[in-house]
């Protein structure tokens, strides 16, 4: 198993917690004011565009659960694997697999985030990310342990 710096482990878990808490301010404050995002085919510049994007995403993706895992680090950059599960208001469940490439500034804030992800429908019984709303419990399996 790869080992990462404590700062990377903290950064990734903090980001995961912010996603699972739907903490918009927490997510945004971890980014520079003029940060750049590419989320699949959507390009965003600055915290306010990201706020609008995330607000729409959180309204669409109900009961969202996110699991992040560091993949590599170095020279102010992180690569993170992720999986997420949610359902829409129609009741259809989805699983998302992807990766994020992140560039940090000198203060450790995210300057650039590039995300590639694939989403597909699943049956509710196929869900693997099951925990009460909020942060993932410490004993929940990692992406690697789940075989994702």
pLDDT of the residue at 11: 86
pLDDT of the residue at 111: 97
> pLDDT class for 5, splitting at 50, 70, 90?
confident
In angstroms, the CA 133 to CA 58 distance is 13
Percent of the chain beyond pLDDT 70? 99
In angstroms, the CA 138 to CA 124 distance is 23
Task: Report whether pLDDT(35) > 80.
Answer: yes
DSSP annotation of 136 reads P
> pLDDT class for 96, splitting at 50, 70, 90?
very high
Encode pLDDT of 59-85 as tens digits.
999 999 999 999 999 999 999 999 999
Encode pLDDT of 109-121 as tens digits.
999 999 999 999 9
| Domain architecture of the chain: domains with CATH | 6-125+140-146 (3.10.450.50)
pLDDT of the residue at 1: 57
Query: Which residue in 78, 76, 100, 72 sits closest to 3, CA to CA?
Result: 72
């Amino acid at each position: 198993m790869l080992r990462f710096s404590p700062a990377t482990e903290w950064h990734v878990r903090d980001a995961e917690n912010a996603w699972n808490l739907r903490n918009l301010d927490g997510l945004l404050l971890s980014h520079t004011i003029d940060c750049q995002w590419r989320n699949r085919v959507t390009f965003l510049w600055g915290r306010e565009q990201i706020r609008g994007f995330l607000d729409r995403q959180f309204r669409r993706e109900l009961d969202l659960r996110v699991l992040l895992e560091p993949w590599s680090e170095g020279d102010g950059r992180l690569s993170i694997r992720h999986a997420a599960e949610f359902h829409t208001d129609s009741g259809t469940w989805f699983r998302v697999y992807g990766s994020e490439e992140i560039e940090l500034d000198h203060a450790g804030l995210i300057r650039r985030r590039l995300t590639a992800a694939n989403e597909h429908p699943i049956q509710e019984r196929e869900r693997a990310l099951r925990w009460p709303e909020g942060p993932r419990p410490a004993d929940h399996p990692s992406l690697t342990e789940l075989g994702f």
